[in-house]
Structure 1
Amino acid sequence: MVTKEVLSQYSDLQEEVKEVRLKIERLERDIGKIEAGEMVIDSVSGGDGGKQHFKIEGIPFPEYSRKKTLLYARKATLQLLEDDLLEKTNEVEEFIASVDDSRMRRIINLRFLENKTWIQIAHIIGGNTESSVKMAFQRFIEKK
């Protein structure tokens, strides 16, 4: 049985998937910069009693390696989240299809599957206020 908590979790899961995708994109950009030859330059002192200074250039391998490992981990996490999201999407869609009231089906679909705000839902449905569609949903869920 789909409850208000399940619907809320579904919305949170959608946002979590988006967040992980953004993190992956940032990591891929960082790795791309390193692979394109973004060099790290440092200077060290040594020789002649520490009076000589040497410039060292290279690829930051520890950072590169860490980011690649993190990328693989985040991709695995994303896959698990997407699988969970697909399962929850099917569950929510089955719940929506089981609702007898057409208006309520539209409200639930717009709110949870399309991530609309209550005010957006009110405008789409027409002839309603933000609070009226929200209250209608809350009364419906309390009956279930």
Structure 2
Amino acid sequence: MEIDKSILTQLCSHKKELSDLRRRKEDNDREIERLEDKGTVVSDSVTCGKKGKKPLGTKRITGFPMPEYEKRMRYKRVYSNMLERQITRLDKEIMEAEQYIESIPDSRIRRICRYRCLDDSLSWISIAHKMGKQHTADGCRMAFERFLKNN
């Protein structure tokens, strides 16, 4: 099977990018919710005029921050579209990565690649623990890096 092994390194990066995009969308949704819950969040005091140096009175003006709300709603649409495209692309890349990993003849390297690239980018320490007692974090990392360089 002729699949570029850069898929493995890109997969980790794309997963992190996807989680960052989800976080941004959630933050934006919380901000929209905050704006909708508060209702009239913008307020200001204005003077009604002056008689000499003395103000005639003040009025309090309140309102809904429509420009901010509309901006957040645009972001929501943009983030939703981006998220949908990213999920589609990531699903395709995961399938390709799984096919590539299955084509690796060495069982040890195959397991390390699965743990590192498919299992939410586990740390090297976690990978070493899953691999067994004779494996170290540095040993797993170096084996993975050697595999990427040599093959």
- With the length of structure 2 as denominator, give the TM-score of the two structures: 0.86
Does the aligned pair in 2 maintain the 1:2–1:91 contact within 8 Å?
A: no
2:33 maps to a residue whose letter is: G
In structure 1, the partner of 2:4 is: 2
In structure 1, the partner of 2:17 is: 16
Does the aligned pair in 2 maintain the 1:45–1:53 contact within 8 Å?
A: yes
Does the aligned pair in 2 maintain the 1:31–1:67 contact within 8 Å?
A: yes
Note the C-alpha offset of 1:88: 0.9
1:143 to 131, 143, 150: 150
Q: What is the aligned-residue identity percentage?
A: 31
In structure 2, the partner of 1:131 is: 138
For the aligned residue pairs, the C-alpha RMSD in angstroms reads 1.6
Structure 2: how far apart are the matches of 1:12 and 1:53? Answer: 56
Larger gyration radius, structure 1 or structure 2: 2
Note the C-alpha offset of 1:133: 1.1
Note the C-alpha offset of 1:92: 0.5
Is 1:122 the counterpart of 2:128 in the alignment? yes
Is 1:67 the counterpart of 2:68 in the alignment? no
Note the C-alpha offset of 1:97: 1.1
Note the C-alpha offset of 1:123: 1.1
Helix, strand or coil at the partner of 2:38: coil
5+ residue gaps, structure 1, are none
Is 1:82 the counterpart of 2:87 in the alignment? yes
Question: CA-to-partner distance for each residue in 1:71-104, whole Å, 9 max, x for gaps?
Answer: 1111111111111111111110110111122221
Structure 1: how far apart are the matches of 2:47 and 2:32? Answer: 30
In structure 2, the partner of 1:47 is: 49
**Alignment size in residue pairs:** 143
Note the C-alpha offset of 1:36: 1.9
5+ residue gaps, structure 2, are none
Helix, strand or coil at the partner of 1:99: coil
2:93 maps to a residue whose letter is: K
| Higher share of residues assigned helix | 1
Structure 2: how far apart are the matches of 1:136 and 1:11? Answer: 17
Structure 2: how far apart are the matches of 1:37 and 1:141? Answer: 53
Question: CA-to-partner distance for each residue in 1:21-79, whole Å, 9 max, x for gaps?
Answer: 11111111111122123422211223345823211111111111110011111111111
Is 1:37 the counterpart of 2:38 in the alignment? yes
